[in-house]
Each structure stands twice: as C-alpha cells, then as structure tokens.
Chains A and B, each alone.
Chain A
Amino acid sequence: MAVISAREMASALETSVRKYVEVGILEGESCNAVAPAVAQLRKEKNNTAWEYSVSKGEPIRFTECTDRQDGSKFNPLIMVEKICVKTEEEFPYDHWVTVLVLEYKDRNRECPRWHFDLGNDGQPGPRLHMQYGGHYHTDRRLDPSFKVPRWSTFPLDTILLLEVVAANFFEEQWKSALRDDRTILKHVKVSEDLCYRPLSDKLQQYLTNPAIGREETFLRSCWNDDRH
C-alpha cells in the first residue's frame, strides 16, 4: 500500500495550491481555503492515518472561465467534505467526499456539481463512485433531482481534482507551467497512489484471473451492497 504521512499530504496540499495561485489559475484566497486543512494535517506529523476537509464556505476557487456556448462566466470550485484515510490499509478509505462545482455567475442557473464518494452501508451502487448532482444551490429547485448513475471509478482527492480542472479548463497554463513541474509531479504521484491503487489492484486481479469472471463482473465486485 501507499503509505502516506499526514505531513507529506500537508505539504502536497500547501505547495500545489500555491503553485496554482502563482500560475494565475487559482484565486489567491485558495491559500486561505486550505490553511485549516494544512494545519490539521501538520499537527498529525508522521501519522499515516489522517483526515482533512476544505469547507464549502471557503472553497478552493479557480479563476474565471467562459462558457464556450453562451459566453457566460463561471468559476470551478473544489471542496472536500471529508477525506479520512488509513493509508497503511489495503482499502484505505474511511470517509471520502470530494466535490467539483462549476459556479456560474448567474445565480438563477444550475451549477454543475460532481462528487466522488464512498457509499454508505447499504446504499446501492458502486462502493467507490462518482456522481453528478447533489445539493449545492440555496434555491433547491436548481439542484438536479436524479441520483444515478453512480459511476464506478477511482476517487479523486484535492491534488488530482486540481490537475483535472487545470488540464480541462486551463490547458495552456497546465501545459506551459504545471504539468512538467517536478514538485507538482511528485505530489500528483503520491495522490495517484492513494486514489488509484486500491481499485486498480482489484481490477488487475480481476483481469488476470479468468476464474473470477465466470462468477461475477467487475462492476458487481465493486457493488456496495454485495461487497466481499
């Protein structure tokens, strides 16, 4: 397993956000947004079990983007309801809700929201999943009503969400200043280990052992109410 200390995650969070601010794609206040999380992690020192949150009242905020379709403006936001992990364990996730929102300036418009989640006991769908929707708007009528599909996928943490947003919405800066930055690479690799390995180990086992496929599909093996 990827053994990651709280201290390591603190500096990954702190320096990644700062670098994105320096490149000009994150608002300066994003440093404030992760400050409580960084302090909380630093306090745990070399502990390999740790947790942090990035509050929805103070999210990590990207600079403004323009909707290519209608020219309207929005800011991508990243929030972490909670990441609570024991990195030494095979399945390290105790609690996981990370969120990406595209916050439109127009307050009467639906703001697209995706979250990566760990299903509660008994909740249908893949245990680790990504889902569109959920509650975001003050006016709840703007929240989408559907709950499915829950996509079976790797959970993404703050560092990986930062990279995804940068690559998709700020491709020029990502290519010129971020994607080859040694520090960013190092932090992304650590997070990839945390986020990809548990599911990819399982997938690899599934693909290399034909016997498993005769009894169940990979999706079923990920299903929350039927897990082994």
Chain B
Amino acid sequence: MIGFFIDDNAEDRTRIARLLEQKELPIDGRFEPVDPIKLRDAVLAEKPDLVALDFRLDDEDLPENNYKGGALAQILREALLETPTLDFPIILVSTEENIKQIYSIDKTSHDLFDQKYMKGRLSDRAYRKTCHQEILSLALGYKRIAAALEEGVGAASLLALDEDELQIVPLHGFATDLKNANSVTHVAARMLLRQLIERAGPLLSCKDVAARLGIATEQNQIEQTMEFLFASGFGYEGVFGDGWPRVWRHRLEAWANDLLGEPLTSLTGDERAKRLSEAIGFELRPAVSKWTNSSDELFAFACTTCREPTERRNSLSLYDKYLLPYSDKKRVCFDCYIRGEMDRFPQLAIDEGDIEVAEDIREGRIKR
C-alpha cells in the first residue's frame, strides 16, 4: 500500500509525511501542488491507497496553485466515480488554525474528507498512534467496501452481521441509504463513519459504553471492560472497526438484561457497578454525577462535551439537525453547561424544548 501527502510547504511535505507513515502504509511527499488537473492525473496514475491533503495549497507564490485542498479533493472524488474499486480515502492534515478558521466555514468541502488531523498534534505519541490506527483502517476499509459493493452485498456484510442479527438492529434506514450510495465507495464510507462510527447509536465507543454501564471512565477500568466485552463477542467487526473500536449496543444490552433482569438504565450507577462487577469478575467503580456528585443516578449517555457518564435528569437536550432515527440524541450535562464548556463547540445549541431549564440553571433556580 502507498499513501501520498500533498502540501505547498516543501518542508512540511517531508516532515508530515514521515509523521503520518507507518510500516503497513508508507506515505510519499513527492507531489507539489501544481496545476490541479495535472496533479490529479499524476496522483491517480500511482493508484494510491490514501491521499492526505493540507487545506491551504495556495501559500507559496506560484501562479498555478491558487486552489485549496477542497478543490483538489473534489476533482479526485469526481474522477473516481467511475472506478469505485480504485477509490481511496482522502484526509485533511492541516494546522489547527487553518482547520478552525478556513476549513470550518467551508461547509461544502466537509463531505470530501474522511477525517481531519491537526499537524501540530502529530508529534504527540498518543495522538499519532490513534491517527495511524485510523488511517490504516480507512485504507483497508475502502478496499473492503469496494469489494462488497462490487459483489452487490449490502449492509449486513459491511457491518459483519448475519442477516438474522441485522433484523434486530434498527438499521433499515441505513440499509436504504447504502443502496442509494449507488456503489460509490467514498459515499458508503462517509455514511459508515458519520452515521454509525462517529455517533452513539447502534455502535458505542468506550465512553458511551461507560455511560451505559454507569461506570467511571478511568483508563484502566475502561480498557479492561472493553477487553472483556470484545472477548465476549460484543465487538463490532465491520468496516473501520479496526480503527475505531466499537461495541454493538444490542449485544451489550441483551447480555446486561439477561444478567440484571431489567434494562441497564433502570438501575443507578451504584447498583449497576455492583451487580456487573460480580458478573464480570473484576471490581467496577461506578460513575459519579458531575452535578450531584453521587453515583445514585440513572446514567444513560456520555455528555457531548465532556464525554462523562450523564443522567437525563441533570442534562439538557441539544439541537440536532442531523438526528437519524437510530442515532442517540445529543445532550450536555448541567455541569458543562454552567461552566461554559459549550463555548468550545460553537456549533452546539440547547434544544428549544430545554431552553427554560437552561435558564433555570443559569439563574440558580436549579441548584446542585
């Protein structure tokens, strides 16, 4: 496999390509952002497995490179429409400043990139490790999607579920969207990422799992729990599962229901942790509500801003224009709200139905 990193800054081309590459996926920084059509043809001739772009390709004083990453991504995507088996992931690797100030307002280009990464954070080992894991998964996932679409198999195969189990998961809408992707690999990839992997719903990340189980999010505890859940066969093994570890919610909940005789979220964090500890065979520490400082709460979801286990009672619903019937509604805990944590995410707003409760918190009518 081979990937390419394209940047107008010659020094970054080499430096960032080094940071992005791994044994299974070398990254080549040879291409300069010349005339976009020529560049497109040159890149496609190499049959890449991944292309990483800086967002600003127009910094240096060359008359022919007055375009940005979005434009190049667009013509690459267009060229691949007719050859879906050659399709590859396109990621954005740029400075935090460019991502926040230029990319974030260029909404039309958002669908073109599978993921975005910050150049400045790539020197951080943990960030780089996650990035490597994800981009390798993207490159492999694209091939898996292309093969599945060529064979004409549907959602069950991409998600590694048998047809019987697919009936249990409420993914009828997803299967329809997938059919409407008309066998275009990058469209199917985007759906999987945005609609299933990056949102809590049928698939849960480790933070979502902690919230469902009502347990504290200490790293050791989470790792041990996820290991147990994967060993028990609840893990997601479909496309991109190797880059983004996820647990099937319906498997987790069926197991918990058999064990507890009632839904997880009917029990307080304390009770859940106690009864699950006995079943799992290692001690689980319950989550603690950031608002009441108590574990005697009905934790149900991870707060959108702090990702900590949160109870419905002490949280606010967020406006969500992309809410799909199978995705979890986004909520924010009272604590994040009162501390102004939402300011870090300017796209978030309190849902209309909860505006008065928000006011009650601000005015001190609802107290800790």
Interface of A with B (CB < 8 Å)? 14, 18, 21, 27-29, 31-32, 35-36, 38-40, 42-43, 53-59, 63-64, 73, 75, 81-82, 105, 107, 138
What 8 A-B pairs are tightest by C-beta distance, nearest first? Answer: A57-B298, A57-B265, A29-B329, A39-B250, A55-B263, A55-B265, A55-B266, A42-B168
Name the one of A39, A56, A73, A105 contacting B266, with C-beta atoms under 8 angstroms: A56
Q: CA of A179 to CA of B35 in the docked complex: distance in angstroms?
A: 61
Known: A55-B264, A57-B265. A105 touches B360 (CB 8 A): yes
Q: Does B120 contact A (CB under 8 A)?
A: no
Instruction: Check if A57 sits within 8 Å of B253, measured CB to CB.
Output: no
Main secondary structure of the interface of B (DSSP, over half): mixed
Q: Does B169 contact A (CB under 8 A)?
A: yes
Instruction: Check if A55 sits within 8 Å of B298, measured CB to CB.
Output: yes
Q: CA of A38 to CA of B254 in the docked complex: distance in angstroms?
A: 11
Contact bitstring B250-275, A, C-beta under 8 A = 1, else 0: 10011001000011111000000000
Q: CA of A203 to CA of B347 in the docked complex: distance in angstroms?
A: 58
Instruction: Check if B249 sits within 8 Å of A35, measured CB to CB.
Output: yes
What are 25 A-B interface contacts by the 8 Å CB criterion? A29-B328, A29-B329, A29-B331, A32-B327, A32-B329, A35-B201, A36-B249, A39-B250, A40-B257, A43-B168, A43-B250, A53-B263, A55-B264, A55-B298, A56-B266, A57-B263, A57-B265, A57-B298, A57-B300, A58-B298, A58-B312, A63-B353, A73-B356, A82-B262, A107-B366
Instruction: Check if B266 sits within 8 Å of A57, measured CB to CB.
Output: yes
Q: Which residues of A contact B169 (CB under 8 A)?
A: 39
Q: Which residues of A contact B254 (CB under 8 A)?
A: 39-40, 43
Q: CA of A215 to CA of B168 in the docked complex: distance in angstroms?
A: 50
Q: CA of A127 to CA of B172 in the docked complex: distance in angstroms?
A: 40
Q: CA of A55 to CA of B366 in the docked complex: distance in angstroms?
A: 24
Q: CA of A105 to CA of B360 in the docked complex: distance in angstroms?
A: 9
**Residue of A with least CB distance to B172:** A14
B143 to chain A minimum Cβ distance, whole angstroms, is 31
Instruction: Check if A57 sits within 8 Å of B299, measured CB to CB.
Output: yes
**Residue of A with least CB distance to B262:** A53
Sample of 11 further A-B pairs with CB below 8 A, known A29-B329, A35-B326, A57-B265: A14-B170, A27-B317, A27-B353, A31-B326, A40-B253, A42-B168, A43-B168, A53-B262, A55-B298, A58-B300, A58-B312
